[in-house]
Amino acid sequence: FGGGGFGSSSTAPSKKKAARGKSGRADLLSTLNDDDSKKKKDKSSSQTFVKSDQEQLLNDLAAKSAQTIIGKAVASSPDYNSPDMDPFWQLLPSLISTKFPSASDGELKRVAGMVEFSLGARGLLEDDVISDQWRPHEELHAYMPGLGATEPFLDPNQLGLCKQLSENYEVITKEYEALLEERFDSKGKDRFQSVTSMNYDAGWKTMVLFYNGHR
């Protein structure tokens, strides 16, 4: 299984990257507090939010998240708590805990394995992956353990999503054709975005329908 766009633990962060990490903490805090700048403020019930309270909230969340299986996976990296670790990885346990608060360690076991692999733990590769002559496992930069034996084709009946896609083929086709009619905006810019041009010499283009919670 190969993926793209994962943070690397081998590059030392610059001052600019460190600043971005602080911004990430602010975004996380905003999410936790259900912040909405468009809401009207009621002076009778408004409260001053002290910066020290924000830091304490984030520190408490980080301490709790560090005990989860994702937190332990991040902590297993040799670069943990060092300037060489990308701030993304240290924020990841808190982000997952807030996004999926009811997820158990058992349910996140494979995700934790993917995190460990991305941070350098190459011992997680299954034998069938290593022995596959057509799969250069030394070049894998992302891998999720526990996906089962490699097969040329998977049975679509194993996933409910595949059934939904098949049943709604006509609807999806009509929606796609409608998107093609409005492919270019008023300035002539192509709405279809390349998702691989930054990492590969050639790739494909996609129409982003749903991204980071936004349609």
- Residue 58 is predicted with a pLDDT of 78
CB 173 within 8 A of CB 159: no
- Residue 190 is predicted with a pLDDT of 76
- Residue 10 is predicted with a pLDDT of 41
- Residue 145 is predicted with a pLDDT of 85
The residue behind tokens 């990841």 is 92
> Long-range contacts of range 80-87, CB-CB < 8 Å, 24 or more positions apart?
83/12, 83/13, 84/9, 84/10, 84/11, 84/12, 84/13, 85/9, 85/13, 86/7, 86/8, 86/9, 86/11, 86/13, 86/17, 87/13, 87/17, 87/18, 87/20, 87/21, 87/24
Which residue positions in the chain have pLDDT lower than 50? Answer: 1-23, 35-36, 38-41, 43-44
Return the DSSP state at 190.
B
Provide the β-strand partners of residue 211: 214
The dihedral through the CA atoms of 63, 69, 72, 74 has a sign that is negative
